[in-house]
Amino acid sequence: MKKTILIAIALFMNTVLSAQDNKVTEAKFNVDGVCGMCKSRIEKVLKIEEVKLAKWDKGAKIVKVAFLSSKITLDSLQRRIASIGHDTEKFKAPDSVYANLPKCCLYRDGQPTH
């Protein structure tokens, strides 16, 4: 009987810990961009196992994400986006990467926006 109770407690604790590991966190943050190509690029870089949902709103310049916070951080998601040429509210894209974006995707220094 005692062994059965211990096994039941162990299974319960395992279930609780697994549920905590899979906690989905939702967040929104600013991401610069101007067109449909930007949208595709931003959403594509977030298509990773840890991200359950990523949608960038071109008009609002905001990305909404739902991610496994036990596996990845919001900062690391913003760094991923900056690494492909799009400034976020926390991280600026490297100038060399930004300069290689298609002309219609340039959003800095008074570039025309769509």
**CA dihedral for 84, 86, 90, 96, sign (positive or negative):** positive
Please give the domain boundaries of the chain with CATH numbers for all domains: 24-105 (3.30.70.100)
Q: What is the pLDDT of residues 10-32, one digit of tens each?
A: 666 555 544 456 899 999 999 99
At 7 the three-state DSSP class reads helix
- Work out the angle at residue 101's Cα, subtended by the Cα atoms of residues 86 and 54, and round it to the nearest 5 degrees: 40
pTM, two decimals, is 0.78
Q: What is the pLDDT of residues 34-51, one digit of tens each?
A: 999 999 999 999 999 999
